[in-house]
Structure 1
């Protein structure tokens, strides 16, 4: 799968996208036939023990993206660019994004966008680095905006539409819309030729994305726009509890879990 393949799905076939943070995640997601695997900086919250995505480093994202890219055979691998690795200095931003393709074998990068990323998107596209834009709720900006629904008034909704069109014109191949009113998601989707991928942006986007931990039921709860399709957390809790009980009861390891070497019987 390449960026152009995702772009061509706009208005044709629903796009499926999930996060993955390591090789095990990625193998399951790719084997299921998901179109896009996003190596999200949400691993800061979900895997690294942080309270937000902001502490995630470029090296951590390079390592996670490399692990995912090694095992994905069919899906498009998109690497999230972490906080302050882009949008400050253009040369450094280009270098950091380029490293995701050169060193981590990503197929594209995702930028949490605003007015400051239009020119960068244009430059990256010129250099052959596919850009997935991201508007609406942008978690890296939570210290300014908070983790609340965006685009809820006419002014902010109009700004999202304008920035969506600007990033499309700059060369973005797709656009993530996060936690915005469903009717705004429909308007943006209708205004663009590139596909929109929603997360809490309603059913009219060209595709949908969620974090894999929520989808499989590994988290304690889900975001208001998420859904658990499994109960991995419950299964893990049961398995760990059963293991603890078996060890304490002397039931594990049993004979079939042990190897006896008869030649050692006379060692002492």
Structure 2
């Protein structure tokens, strides 16, 4: 509990900055819908004529003239990419920061074995992600109420559940990467989050690389799929679960066996 509290406090400020920043972006995006509602249909028609690119963005399934379509296409993109980057950031700094900050010698002299340390760090990531999601959702729902628009809350909550699973998967994989490095590789983690989004776009644009949908978590956490009520193949979630569990197990094994610099 002491280690968990320490990890929470050390990352609390960063979490608030990320949550408020992304929350405000979502708030502004939702608030803009009422001001552009009259021209939304013409915008939807213009974007719909972009061929494969519009299809990759879900414009062939949702109409941004409708608020649910607007949220799924515009706002969910901000949240998905932003939350994945934050999850990657949490994962990549978790283990490596002890060696980079030369605090490993002190930490591992405490009456805690490496299993307890690893567990505290992983649980802190989950707690920080939960707090982050709650804060951003607060901004989003506040904007929805102020704008007085109709939102399909069933689809909304389902999307956020899938987004949280995606965040957990990205964080777990970056936690594994963190176990290999002696310094925080924040750029690598943020780049990975963006690369996974690029892979999602590619697998929707190019049929020859459609297999990438089994690799990128953005595919099953896509708001368009949820709000258009498209049935999701459970295989994607099974693969995501396997990647998450294997990444967590591997990160623990590596941390337990490696020699730490102090």
Q: TM-score, normalised by structure 1?
A: 0.24
Larger Rg over CA atoms: 1
Greater relative contact order: 1 or 2 (C-alpha under 8 angstroms, separation 6 or more)? 2
- Normalising to structure 2: TM-score of the pair? 0.24
- Greater strand share, structure number: 1
